[in-house]
Amino acid sequence: MSKKAKMMIDRSFRIAEIDDRIYGSFIEHLGRAVYDGIYQPGHPMSDKNGFRKDVIALVKELNVPIVRYPGGNFVSSFNWEDSVGPVDQRPHRIELAWRSLETNEVGLHEFSQWAKAADAEVMMALNLGTRGIADACNLLEYCNHPGGSKYSDLRISHGQKEPYEFKTWCLGNEMDGPWQMGHKTADEYGRLAAETARAMRIIDPSVEFVVCGSSNKEMPTFATWEDTVLSHTYEFADYLSLHTYYGNRSGNTNDFLAKSNDMDEFIHTVTSICDYVKAKKRSEKNMYLSFDEWNVWYHSNEKDDDAMKNKPWQVAPPLLEDIYTFEDALLVGLMLIVLLRHSDRVKVACLAQLINVIAPIMTDANGGGAWRQTIFYPFMHASRYGRGAALFPVIDSPLHATKDHGDVTDIESIAVYNEEKEEVTIFAVNRNLDEDVTLVTDVRSFEGYSLKEHIVLENDDLKAVNGFGQEKVAPQTVNRSVLEDGTLTSDIHKASWNVIRLGK
Ligand code: AHR
């Protein structure tokens, strides 16, 4: 007899309306993300502007509403002026974060055109590493001011009459990290971010700001950084950023799949710090979270260290090209469940990144087509079916033992109710590697609903990967759920990602 888990969902027990931007992603001028990724003039699949149509088609499959740009670490020594105006007059610059050569062939204008073609908004990141308030204001004036001033007229002279109207701005990137060009103490950064935001809001009061939280939860300054930075910026900031990447470095998959518990704890802690600062300031305002870098990242680390050290200053070298395994896709599914569970506070999230660089979408390095990595699928399912209200999942799951995380639940799950479409979707991962679990869900509050489909992503080989022209890990529809008298009974196989869809 298989193990049993119980779950109860109710249409009126809502965590929050999910902000669609939780399905955002990220493109940095790094490796082959831009050049040979979204842009490859001369490729048979490229349009007249050099953008890969096959890549845009895959981005649209993922339905990504917002893309963070142009970095990442890249942004902290980026001069935006190099990336605008006639392309043949743009300088080639050495790029310090990734020790590459940036040709500036794709700049602000080209990227905004690409984002439009991909149906995504641009989330602009500012250089607060090597630059400051004046440059940030100039960039905002260039992008959002209608005209009649130095930088807005410069934009118009570059052929873009209408302002870009970028709404969401990241005030720097990972400014606590010693690897960041111009990294700062929390006080230095907090003051600079506050004054930059204050000045930028005078130019365009409609913009929203993301202030940098810690680069990750293991940073020695984690928690005091958040407290100090928010103490300076609470009045101006709309979101505080969180970043996290996981890897199965020890080779213990049980522990690897428990790492989503760390992410849950991370969000919980940062939310508490935000609320503490809110109380300290006697503020009425809630600080929301922008989880603007999250993913699995470790496969390529060694190779990249070597390439950056021994073969620097190349144009678009292959960097951070993690090839994802099936178990990575399971963790990505688990991380999506955590983000949805915190959708009352996490309003923006960016899967880092989108193309070729720790990405769900790859392009063949030898001029072939684009292909889907294993992690493409849980993200696609969540983005496609996870829109609406997140419902509190009351779950009673059996446990299994892990080495570093103690006993953890077999089943992790969340349900999303799309009232408009009259659909409910249950996302569930069984992270028990040895045993199947029968999940019995009370869905009585969805009277008149029936089972539409049960989709799974599974593979006997946890290390299975996809490649160009070869999709070993792809979803399939299965016959493993039955809905009867308000009870949904689903067989959730060991090590599987499940999407169970009900509709009226
Ligand atoms: O996404 C890759 C890098 O990870 C980003 O440039 C940086 O912000 C983070 O450390």
Going by CA atoms, what residue is nearest to atom 5 of ligand 1? 72
β 24-26/346-352 pair status: parallel
pLDDT at 2 over 90: no
Nearest to 23 by CA among 61, 53, 70: 61
Q: What is the mean pLDDT of residues 15-33?
A: 98
pTM of the model: 0.97
Active site residues: 174, 293
Query: Could you tell which of 73, 78, 123 is best to mutate to test the pocket of ligand 1, judged by most ligand atoms within 8 Å of the CB?
Result: 73
Distance CA 451, CA 456 (A): 15
Longest dimension (CA), the chain: 74
For 239-298, what is each residue's pLDDT tens digit? Answer: 999 999 999 999 999 999 999 999 999 999 999 999 999 999 999 999 999 999 999 999
Going by CA atoms, what residue is nearest to atom 9 of ligand 1? 72
- pLDDT (0 to 100) of residue 1: 67
Q: How close is the Cα of 28 to the center of ligand 1, in Å? A: 8
| CATH superfamily, domain at 3-10+390-503 | Golgi alpha-mannosidase II (2.60.40.1180)
pLDDT at 92 over 90: yes
- pLDDT (0 to 100) of residue 502: 98
Amino acid at site 228: T
**DSSP one-letter code for 19:** P
User: Mean pLDDT score of the chain, rounded to an integer?
Assistant: 97
- pLDDT (0 to 100) of residue 393: 87
pLDDT at 431 over 70: yes
Q: What is the mean pLDDT of residues 72-80?
A: 97
Distance CA 366, CA 63 (A): 27
Distance CA 228, CA 480 (A): 51
Q: What is the mean pLDDT of residues 70-88?
A: 97
What is the number of the ligand 1 atom nearest to the C-alpha of 177?
10
Going by CA atoms, what residue is nearest to atom 4 of ligand 1? 72
What is the number of the ligand 1 atom nearest to the C-alpha of 26?
1
For 385-406, what is each residue's pLDDT tens digit? Answer: 999 999 998 999 999 999 999 9
More confident position, 60 or 366 = 60
Domain regions of the chain by residue span: 3-10+390-503, 19-385
What is the number of the ligand 1 atom nearest to the C-alpha of 179?
10
Nearest to 23 by CA among 71, 70, 56, 62: 62
Query: Exposed e or buried b for every residue in 27-66, given b needs 16+ CB within 10 A?
Result: bbbbbbbbbbbbbbeebebbeeebbbebbbebbebbbbbb
Q: How close is the Cα of 376 to the center of ligand 1, in Å? A: 19
For 307-345, what is each residue's pLDDT tens digit? Answer: 899 999 999 999 999 999 999 999 999 999 999 999 999
- pLDDT (0 to 100) of residue 233: 98
> Is the bond into 72 cis (omega within 30 degrees of 0)?
yes
Query: Could you tell which of 67, 180, 246, 293 is best to mutate to test the pocket of ligand 1, judged by most ligand atoms within 8 Å of the CB?
Result: 293
Q: What is the mean pLDDT of residues 71-91?
A: 97
Tell the CATH topology of 19-385.
TIM Barrel (3.20.20)
pLDDT at 190 over 70: yes
- The contacts of residue 329 (CB under 8 Å, 6+ apart) are 374, 375, 377, 378, 457, 473, 497
Band of residue 32 on the pLDDT scale cut at 50, 70, 90: very high
